[in-house]
């Protein structure tokens, strides 16, 4: 079996303290070689344009397997 990269996504979780919950925002189309610095810069940019504070971010990488 051969492992092939199929895509990446970045999930940003915003903290809504008033309602005691987290709000997830998903951004599709991330590059394959996404670095921690790129995720941190993206998270910082989103925190400046959003009224809710960013709690954390998660990168989801998807792969498919072929014979």
Distance of CA 46 to the CA centre of its chain: 11
∠ CA 2-6-44, nearest 5°, is 135
* Segments making up each domain of the chain, as ranges: 2-66
What does each of the 67 residues of the chain score in pLDDT, given as a tens digit?
899 999 999 999 999 999 999 999 999 999 988 999 999 999 999 989 989 999 999 999 999 999 8
pTM of the predicted structure, to 2 decimals: 0.81
Q: How far is CA 43 from CA 13, 49, 52, in A?
A: 10, 10, 12
């Amino acid at each position: 079996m051969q492992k092939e990269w199929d895509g990446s996504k970045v999930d940003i979780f915003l903290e809504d303290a008033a309602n005691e919950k987290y709000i997830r925002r998903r951004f599709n189309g991330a590059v394959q070689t996404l670095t921690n610095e790129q995720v941190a810069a993206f998270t910082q940019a989103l925190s400046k344009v959003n009224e809710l504070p960013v709690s954390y971010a998660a990168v989801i990488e998807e792969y498919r397997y072929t014979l």
